[in-house]
Amino acid sequence: MKNILNFKKSILVISILLLTACETTSSRLLDSSVGKSAVELRSIQGRAFDTKDQNKTLRTIIATLQDLSFVIDKADMELGTVSATKLDSSNQGFGNTGYMLRMTVSARPVGNRTLIRANAQFNITPVVEPKPYQDFFVALEKAMFLTAHQVE
Binding site residues, other proteins, CB under 8 A: 1, 4-5, 8, 12, 16, 55, 58-59, 62-63, 66-78, 82, 84-89, 91-92, 97-101, 120, 122-123, 125, 127, 129, 131-133, 135-136, 139, 142
Backbone angles phi, psi at 117, to 5 degrees: -125, 130
Closest to other proteins by CB, 8 vs 52, is 8
Instruction: Compute the least distance from the CB of residue 68 to other proteins, in Å.
Output: 6
Strand partners, 83: 74, 104
Closest to other proteins by CB, 43 vs 85, is 85
Closest to other proteins by CB, 96 vs 152, is 96
Instruction: Compute the least distance from the CB of residue 123 to other proteins, in Å.
Output: 6
Closest to other proteins by CB, 100 vs 110, is 100
Instruction: Compute the least distance from the CB of residue 122 to other proteins, in Å.
Output: 4
Instruction: Compute the least distance from the CB of residue 96 to other proteins, in Å.
Output: 10
